Amino acid sequence: MDEEKDLLYLIDKIVTFDLFREANYYFRCMKKQPHGGVAHIFYPNVYLKHYAADTFRLFTQDPEKIPYFLTALVEESYQEYLRSGIDVEEICRLCFDDNNFWYAGFRLLKPKSEYKAANKEVPILWSVIDSKLKFQDYFDIEPKMLVYALVCYLIKDNMVEIQGIAEIRAYEQLKMPHNKYGLCLVNESKFMRQGFIIEDRYYLYSIFFDTTIGAATDEVPYTIKIINEEISEKNLFFRCDEKIAVPVEEMISTATMDSQKYRGITVNFVDIEKLVYKKEVIVHYRPEHQDKVIMIIKPDTDQNGDKFYHIEVEELWNPERIKDSFVITNYIHAQYYPGRRNFNHIDFSVNQYSISVFNEKFRDAVTDTEVPIDRYGDEHYKIWCVESEAIEISTWSKLVCATLDEPFRDLFIEMFSG
């Protein structure tokens, strides 16, 4: 068979397009969970290297409209398809005779007029698939929409693995203006479940941002809900990547009614000055799973001479859970003023470590490894920041719980129990 007539040739071409990587990353950032459920993250780097993209969900709303973020990729793939002359039946069989993608065919394929009545009784798709009949005999197939289905199938089936923060930085295009950390002021934004609107652009949240919600009726992620309801006078900053942004009229959402239970806590820092005279490092873990939460408290003085404390919380995965050559951890930094008994600054970042350095950090055996447990990451990538004159301790504790991955939330709470 001529190479250009081969379906594998077409697939190999599509998955190597730069646009394919961009589309894959965009959909990954949408973070839609199966059956409207909650993401249960029990090992690191899930969204970078281990997250299956259920692109069939794009066909639930308007199956005949190609989403804006896929239009350029579909067009480039369609032109390649026209040059290849591949049989329509090959693509239909690949995409729709699949236990994890048949729904796309159910929504996309239109029965021919003589089969419409029968299709209302029982979808004829099942008979075509089970009996290995020709799709073209029973359905009117529009070639470009078929290529759209193929693209979505390939995004699901050929996950692009992201090799860490440096790769994300290399591809991202930050909105201007932004501060030295890459964050934009977003006070006037309209926040939604999977992203937010600034002026005439809709931005997805960062791939590292937890978009699960606190109650089934919530219209924004739990972190945004806490900030909006509990911090009145504030400046809020977010990372805004143009590569995961579209014109607001082209935005789509796959969000449904989800639920996520976060346990709030009350932390009393009234005696912190009696406890901390210099830098302190607190580590809490459970013997049964060995994950750790580390809190670093460091006294400092601001430009007005007022004393405050840097309080840093980081999750440390049990190295046995790590499947990759690197590990990314969630990290929350805040500034606490004991004189006012509140915070004026909270920010969320992720840290990246090589597995060798992380293992030594986790061991907390500095005399042997010369890598202390409070060592900072090789890469530091900031996601959001909120600043206000009076952020309550309870608000800080809720934001920490909402930002830490699931195995670490109870550990953080246990730090202050009793």
Rounded distance between C-alpha atoms, residue 239 and residue 184, angstroms: 6
Q: How confident is the model at residue 310 (pLDDT cuts 50, 70, 90)?
A: very high
**Is the confidence at residue 283, as pLDDT, over 60?**
yes
Co-location of 286 and 342 in the same domain: yes
Rounded distance between C-alpha atoms, residue 173 and residue 78, angstroms: 27
Can you read off the two tokens belonging to residue 310?
Answer: 């840097």
Co-location of 215 and 130 in the same domain: no
Contact 69, 245 (CB under 8 A): no
Of 36, 60, 352, residue with least CA distance to 211: 36
Co-location of 355 and 237 in the same domain: yes
Is the previous residue joined to 177 through a cis bond, with omega within 30 degrees of 0? Answer: yes
Q: Is residue 38 part of a domain?
A: no
Co-location of 122 and 224 in the same domain: no
User: Of 403 and 272, which is predicted with more confidence?
Assistant: 403
Q: Is residue 47 part of a domain?
A: no
User: Of 106 and 38, which is predicted with more confidence?
Assistant: 106
Lowest mean pLDDT among 42-51, 98-107, 266-275, 347-356: 266-275
Co-location of 84 and 231 in the same domain: no
End position of a domain, from candidates 127, 157, 187: 157
Co-location of 135 and 196 in the same domain: no
Range of the domain at 321: 168-418
Average pLDDT over residues 325-346: 94
Give pLDDT, residue 312. Answer: 95
Co-location of 124 and 267 in the same domain: no
Percent over 70 (pLDDT), the chain: 89
Q: Is residue 319 part of a domain?
A: yes
Can you read off the two tokens belonging to residue 137?
Answer: 């005999």
Show Cβ contacts of residue 35 under 8 Å, excluding neighbours closer than 6 positions. Answer: none
Domains held by the chain: number = 2
Considering the entire predicted model, what is its pTM?
A: 0.90
Q: How confident is the model at residue 389 (pLDDT cuts 50, 70, 90)?
A: very high
Co-location of 147 and 220 in the same domain: no
Average pLDDT over residues 315-341: 94
Give pLDDT, residue 211. Answer: 87
Rounded distance between C-alpha atoms, residue 391 and residue 393, angstroms: 7
Lowest mean pLDDT among 228-237, 322-331, 405-414: 405-414
Co-location of 283 and 346 in the same domain: yes
Q: Is residue 363 part of a domain?
A: yes
Co-location of 360 and 412 in the same domain: yes
Give the DSSP letter string of 88-135: HHHHHHHHHS-TTTHHHHHHH-EE-GGGHHHHHHS-HHHHHHHTT--H
Co-location of 300 and 390 in the same domain: yes
Q: Is residue 237 part of a domain?
A: yes
Give pLDDT, residue 1. Answer: 41
Co-location of 225 and 326 in the same domain: yes
End position of a domain, from candidates 132, 157, 182: 157
- Mean pLDDT (the chain, rounded): 88
